[in-house]
Amino acid sequence: MAAAELTTVLENDRVTVRRVRLSGPGPVSSGARGERLVIYLRPAHVRRTEHGQQEDLHRDAGDVVWRPASSHEIEHVEGGEHDVLIVEFKD
């Protein structure tokens, strides 16, 4: 299993910003998340599974992706460090 480090960088009444670092390949459990932006700080190859559907994602450093609310799992496919900022919006 990939080692995961989750740090809250900023939180206020509108958003929560978390930095997620994964090292080593393997699955990482993920719970439900609200609407969010994901900002990739390093190139990444991850496998995202939601409702039994798998999606392989290849991202470059600097990519910004919008994600609707979901419950999913992430698997860090390639070695090295996976490093993202997740900006979650509060209702």
For every one of its 91 residues, what pLDDT tens digit does the chain have, with 9 covering 90 and above? 667 888 999 999 999 999 998 887 777 767 677 899 999 999 988 888 988 899 999 999 999 999 998 888 888 887 678 899 999 998 8
CATH number at residue 58: 2.60.120.10
pLDDT value at position 32? 73
Nearest C-alpha neighbor of 54 from the set 42, 39, 38, 72: 72
Q: Provide the residue range defining the domain that includes 9.
A: 3-89
Total domains, the chain = 1
